[in-house]
Each structure stands twice: as structure tokens, then as C-alpha cells.
Amino acid sequence: MNAGQMADVLIIGAGAAGLAAARTLSLEGATVLILEARERIGGRILSLRAAAAPLPVELGAEFIYGRPHGLMEVVNADGLQIFELSQDHWLAQHGELRLDGVLGQLNAERSMERIFRVREGYDAICDFLLRSSPGVKLQLKSIVTDVRWRPGKVEVVTRTAASERVFRARRLIVTLPLGVFKAKFGSEGAVRFSPPLAEKQLAANGLEMGSVFKITFRFRTPFWQDRLNLGFVHAPGEAVPTWWGTQPLRSALLTGWAEGASATTLLGSGRQHAVEQALVSLSRIMAVGVEALGEKLECWYFHDWQSDPFSRGAYSYVVAEGLSDQKKLATPIADTLFFAGEALNDQGLSGTVDGAIETGVRAADEVLQGMQRRFGRAA
């Protein structure tokens, strides 16, 4: 087991929360090392670039809701382009499509309901956060297995394909997804804390990870655009009940979404069967035969976040009477362990990238406050 380097702060996870924390710390002069299990940054942001697609396919997070401060600061600083998706909401019933005037009017009246996409791909947000973090070091393909800590000292053990290493610091920011934090030690991606974080684990029971089935179909042509301006389509009762396009940007991409029990059923049926069920749902919505629709289909894109050992779910949600548990999970321990991630956002932004960024900045500010207090005593 090799001894790793010393840093002011270690961060577990190079998702939006971890990257935002690293940037905030590094801009204040702290030395930061991020440990990431995957071979890429971004966490549950995963943008796929295909030569035939007019914009990146988002296998994970896709939308910016409204104009949140944290995200818009990055968008503006990096000169990224965002475009607003069509607010046309269609209701599919009895083989017919009709505009849902109630939902459309509601969204028009609530500016916070406006939905945007990043033209360059959502992962451009993560790239900027890392690129604008002076001196931050990143270790990819480093699976954290153990965290040994006491006040003022942390040792993090990682496993790579070649060896195990130990990294040391005075402070650690944990940005593990909720599903990974709750995973039993011994399962892939799970982390053992010594001494255990019993109160944190108890608080985690007040939150759960949601199941999502999300699939993007790429057709040879956008055949639907001759008869409707496709924003969002809602088809209650279908296996995949929600679909959207890329309007006003013209493309041959359609994305389907199912969550909760429907998603669990689809994911449990096997990938090929799930894709077939999605195609059947879309054929009924579009009033196009399944075989005819299949002939128009060029390819499909999908990532199973539930079976991914480094996410174990798509997004978090609070169970009954669990609101206080978010604050308990986010509370630092002994000016040594700090916590961030979308699941810990108690300002109504859980499940969003902006929520993750906000908690990362918050955790970094808490670390900086502790560092300033320590410097004051030493002086």
C-alpha cells in the first residue's frame, strides 16, 4: 500500500458538487485533491457526442430549470450557449395528440418552470469548473474503499487496477451519491468510515434514490415535425409516459422518460425488452405502427444509473418527515468531515445540478471558515 500525497483538502467525487467545491477552495489558495472512481468527471452528468447527432445526447442530467445563479455564473463565464425548449405540452389520449392548455399556461406564468439546455453539452459545465480551478489535482479510476479519520486528520484509502494508495489531509469533503453512501460495505463502490458515521447513516434513511428509465431515440428524419411542434408529450398509462424533443432546435432526437415503479419494472425486464417497450409506447403516441417506427429508427442511447455502482440511482428524494435529515447529512463533523451533493440541498433544489453546485460551494465555505479559525489561533 503506497502512501499518497498530503493536501489541505481531499474531495471524494468529481461530480458537480465536488468540482464546485474544488474550484471554490482553489481560488482561495487551498491545495485540493479530488478522488474519482470513474474514468471521467461529471458523475451523473454524461454527455455523449455522436457524429450524426446535431447536439450531445444527455444520458444523465439534461435540463437547466429557470436561470439559477450557480449554473448561470458558469454558463456566462465560459461563454456557453443555452437554448430554451418549447413550452408546448401535448397530451396523448385515445390515439390522439392535443395541446394541454392548462399545463402550458401554468408554465408560461411561472418563469421558474422555463427549461433550457446547454448547446455544447451539460458536461461543458463540469469541464469549466475543473479548468478554472488553479492547482487542483485529480485522480481518476481511484475507487475509495475506506475513510479513517479523527479530528484534524483524515486518511482515505483508494483501490486502482494496479494497487492501493493512502491519501492524507486535515479535511475531507464527501460528495458520494446518496445511493453509494447508503450501500453496505463490501458492495462495489461502497465506502467504510472508521469510526462509523452512525448519525449520518440514520439520517440517510430519511432520503431515497429514485429509479429512472431514460432513453433517447435517434431517427433518420424528424418525421413528426411536419404535423406538430413537439415540446413535451405526456401519455398517462404508457410504459414510457413522457417524451420530449429538442425544439426549437431541429433534430431527429426524441427522449423518453419513466420513473418510480414504472422505471423499476422496465429496468428489471432487461435492456432489450425495455427498449422494445419504449418503442411500443412511442408508436401509440405517434399513431405509427411499431414496425414502421422501427424502420425509421437509426439508433438509441441509454445508461442504467440504478445498476451503476458509482451512482446506485438517478436522483434523490425526501421521504415522509425526512426534510430535517438533509440538514443532518449536510452538517460537518469536527471541522474535519464535510458533506455535499444534490441529496443534501434543503432549499428545494435536490435532484438538480444547480442543487449539487450550491452544496459544493457551501461545503467549501465551511472548510474555509475552519481554516481561517485555525490560522487565527496559530497566529
User: So what's the pLDDT on residue 319?
Assistant: 86
Q: Which of 157, 146, 174, 206 is nearest to 333 (CA)?
A: 174
> What residues of the chain score a pLDDT lower than 50?
1, 110-112, 377-379
User: So what's the pLDDT on residue 197?
Assistant: 97
The amino acid occupying position 40 is R
The amino acid occupying position 284 is R
Per residue in 212-266, pLDDT (tens digit) is: 999 999 999 999 987 778 889 999 999 999 999 998 988 999 999 999 999 999 9
Q: Cis omega (within 30 of 0) on the bond before 151?
A: no
Residue 286, helix vs strand vs coil: helix
User: So what's the pLDDT on residue 209?
Assistant: 94
Are the C-beta atoms of 154 and 170 separated by less than 8 Å?
yes
Are the C-beta atoms of 21 and 171 separated by less than 8 Å?
no
Cα–Cα dist 88/101, whole Å: 9
User: So what's the pLDDT on residue 339?
Assistant: 98
Q: Which of 298, 299, 297, 262 is nearest to 277 (CA)?
A: 262
N residues, the chain: 379
Give the helix ranges, DSSP H, for the chain: 16-27, 69-78, 101-109, 123-131, 178-181, 198-204, 260-268, 271-286, 290-296, 323-330, 353-378
Are the C-beta atoms of 266 and 274 separated by less than 8 Å?
yes
User: So what's the pLDDT on residue 62?
Assistant: 97
Going by the DSSP 8-state scheme, the letter that residue 336 receives in this structure is T
Query: What would the grid cell of residue 33 be?
Result: 485533491
Please, what's the largest Cα pairwise distance for the chain?
76
CB atoms within 10 A of CB 31: 15
CB atoms within 10 A of CB 223: 14
Beta carbons within 8 Å of 78's beta carbon, 6+ residues apart: 124, 125, 128
CB atoms within 10 A of CB 297: 16
